[in-house]
Structure 1
């Protein structure tokens, strides 16, 4: 069944899969199976994970498998937040100027107008 995935995830699967003699699709399937088993595992305390994700418990209180689940969730949240950012639009709307580096590595100052 065709599925769209993030380009960065595909590239990571391609690189990791090559090390394990798997195609990118095989690596993605492998990761999906691991994730499914990890989430279904009785040795993982999902309530503790939820408490850490809600900011009610420290990350270091989790065992390694639970920390892996939390890191994965954090990665997804960060990627989602970054995808929704349009700093140029926000700065322009607020009337602020900003600086950035162009394709040649030169510092360029931008204005809101």
Structure 2
């Protein structure tokens, strides 16, 4: 569903996303998920959660509720990273051959040098 985003917010998301290897859209989604999780529990420490997510503080220093939020956000990051992978293109660009299984488990080999 298309949503209009303020230019300033979009620019901030683009800058923050670049630091964390996210697109501007992925950064805005991350902020929305974080906000949703924080709003659902007034007892959570926003600053401490952000510090853990930025690698500046230990996960073990958080209370159980904050750890749960961090685990959920880590899960989202992993899903986003997996969704953005395109190893086929990376292997092809590097001129490397690769093997992959199709939906029924048959294995095929792709060799860019042979035009496959």
**Category of TM-score, reference length = shorter chain:** 0.5 to 0.7
| Alignment partners' CA distance in 2, 1:81 and 1:104 | 25
Instruction: Give, in angstroms, the shift of residue 88 of structure 1.
Output: 0.8
Scaled by the length of structure 2, what TM-score is found? Answer: 0.57
Alignment of 1:48-67 (within 5 A): 48-67=48-67
Instruction: Give, in angstroms, the shift of residue 84 of structure 1.
Output: 1.8
Instruction: Give, in angstroms, the shift of residue 49 of structure 1.
Output: 0.7
| Alignment partners' CA distance in 2, 1:60 and 1:109 | 45
Other structure's SS at 1:100 match = strand
| Alignment partners' CA distance in 2, 1:107 and 1:42 | 51
Larger relative contact order, structure 1 or 2 (CA cutoff 8 Å, min sep 6): 2
Alignment of 1:1-113 (within 5 A): 36=36, 38-40=37-39, 41-112=41-112, 113=115
Q: For structure 2, which runs of at least 5 residues remain unmatched after alignment?
A: 3-34
Give 4+ residue runs of structure 1 displaced > 6 Å after superposition: none
| Alignment partners' CA distance in 2, 1:107 and 1:50 | 43
| Alignment partners' CA distance in 2, 1:101 and 1:60 | 40
Other structure's SS at 1:43 match = coil
Instruction: Give, in angstroms, the shift of residue 90 of structure 1.
Output: 1.2
